[in-house]
Each structure stands twice: as C-alpha cells, then as structure tokens.
Amino acid sequence: MGALIHVTAWERKSTVRRILLAFVRVAILIVALAVLINILGPPIAIFTTTRWMARKIPAVRVAPQPLADYSVSSEPATTISYFGFEFEVPWNATFKTKGGKANIVQLQFDSGQSLTFIVPANQDGLLSEIVQDRSLNMSGLRPVLGGLTNSSAYDQYAALLSATPQSIRAFGPRFEAVRGSTLLTIKAIAVGPGLATGVSSFKFSDKRGFEIGDPQKSKRVDLEVFGMGGHHVEILLFAAKDSAPLSQSEINRILTSLHPISAGSTVAAAHFITSPTDPNQ
C-alpha cells in the first residue's frame, strides 16, 4: 500500500512537472513569437504593402530616365505670358482661357491642344507642402520623410519619382524602408496618370525637371520645371482624342522658351515667332 502511495505521489509530481515544463515551453514560444513579430512584423508589412501596390498600381514601378530627344520645333509659335512667366507654344491657333487667378490658368486651343499653367503657392517642394498644409493633417510624416523636407524642391520630386517597389529594402534599415514605402504611397496618389507610359528627366541651361508621360503613348504630359532663379512651375499638356498627338519637339519648344519676366504679368499675347531656342547654346 505504501509503495502504491509512493508511486502515485511520484506520478503526480511528474505530471505537475510535465505541465510546468509545457507552460514554460509555451511561454518561451510566445516570447519568441513576440520578439519575432516586433523584429519582422514591420518589414513583412512593408514588403507585403509594396508588392500589393505594385500589382494594383503598376505605374509606381516607373522611374525617371534621361530625356533622349532634345529637338525643338521650328513651327510658328504663340507667346504666352502669365503670373510673371513667359513661354512659347508651337500652335498658331486661337485659344480660349479659363481661370487666370490663384496662379492657375487653362488655355484651350482650337487646334485641339490644351495647356494648364500652374505656379504653386508653396515653392518649398511637394513633400514640404504636404507636411506644412494643415488641412491635410500630414505633419506626422515629417519625422518619416526626415531631411527630405529640407531638400530643394527638385530633389524632393526626384526622390518621389525614384521610389519604386524594387528600390525598397523591406528587411534593410527600418527608417529607409518606412520612408521608401511612404514615398511610394505618395507617388501613387500625387503623380499624374501619364506616369504609366514613362518619366523623363530633362536639363536645359537654366532649368531642369521631369516630363511625366510619353507623348508617343499618352494624350497627357505633365511637366515639373525647376530652376529659373529658384522657381517651380507645372505645365499640364493635353491633346484631344481627334487631334494630332503631342510631339517631343513641341514640348521642348515650351521648355526652352520658358523664363521669368516682370512679376504680375497676366496678359496672353498672340504673336508668332519662327526661331526656336537652341538648348545646346
């Protein structure tokens, strides 16, 4: 009987020990999983998000490539002046205007092209504008974007367009991965629809910037122009469905002729010029 009691007590202690060991193993597993999630959770989330965005919005895969064609149209041009800037458009058709206030105007040409000219009120750069605009409630992005908001307006846009799913190292340095994922999200939202057809970076003697949209593939091309004494302007070009597509030489005519003039000029002149600016001079 005593032996039976001794065996039962030993089995009870053994069972308790097995239960305690099981609890210890479960506790260790839980701690290990918590550490793993803390370490790998954000990278996995970033990896999953960027790949999902690449599938849903393939345009975010596109990064800037140097402009290959610097030819300039020699067709008769119309000189346009708005908001302290002047430029030439290689269309000698009549046009109607819409807007003209708040630094934005739209010109609709009878030949089928339309042009929207914008001088952003905030010249600090797109990323700076996003974190500074209280109506957007995005000031929390300032630590994420880091020193980018203190960079030039051109460098901010270059960083934005250069962000691609391929450039984000989800399991690399955490700060860089989070910033890259944030830039990719902003790129998907803020950049025009022509992005899917290509982006070119251009550089002329007094200005540089980006051409979003390939005129051979898209009816819309967006120009982000920087320089000219520290200015940033946007030019949105459209070609109607039944009109001739935009050409690179026409776009280059606008870019090479764009320059600041006396502030406050809002008059659109309509005289014709036949000698384009040579970007190589």
pLDDT tens for each residue of 41-60: 567 777 777 777 777 888 88
Looking at beta carbons, which pairs linking 273-279 to residues 24 or more positions away fall under 8 Å?
273/76, 273/77, 273/79, 273/88, 274/74, 274/76, 274/77, 275/74, 276/72, 276/73, 276/74, 276/77, 276/88, 277/72, 277/253, 278/72, 279/70, 279/72, 279/204, 279/205, 279/252
Q: Where are the domains of the chain?
A: 2-56, 60-281
Residue 73 and residue 250 in contact, taking contact as beta carbons nearer than 8 Å: yes
Residues 6+ apart with CB under 8 A from 183: 145, 159, 160, 163
Q: How far apart are CA 175 and CA 181, in angstroms?
A: 10
Q: What per-residue string of b and e applies to 116-152 under the rule 16 or more CB within 10 Å gives b?
A: bbbbbeeebbbbbbbbeeeeeebeebeebbeebbebe
What are the 10-residue block averages of pLDDT along the chain, 281 residues in total? 45 52 51 46 70 80 94 90 92 85 90 92 89 80 85 94 85 76 85 89 94 92 91 93 87 95 52 40 38
pLDDT tens for each residue of 82-113: 999 999 998 888 889 888 788 999 999 988 89
**Two tokens, residue 163:** 């962000």
Task: Please tell me the predicted confidence (pLDDT) of residue 108.
Answer: 92
Q: How far apart are CA 95 and CA 77, in angstroms?
A: 13
Its pTM stands at 0.76
Residue 27's Cβ-side half-sphere holds a number of Cα atoms within 13 Å equal to: 6
Kindly state the percentage of the chain with pLDDT values over 90.
35
Residue 142 and residue 131 in contact, taking contact as beta carbons nearer than 8 Å: yes
Task: Please tell me the predicted confidence (pLDDT) of residue 93.
Answer: 80
Task: Please tell me the predicted confidence (pLDDT) of residue 177.
Answer: 80
Task: Please tell me the predicted confidence (pLDDT) of residue 131.
Answer: 86
Task: Please tell me the predicted confidence (pLDDT) of residue 24.
Answer: 52
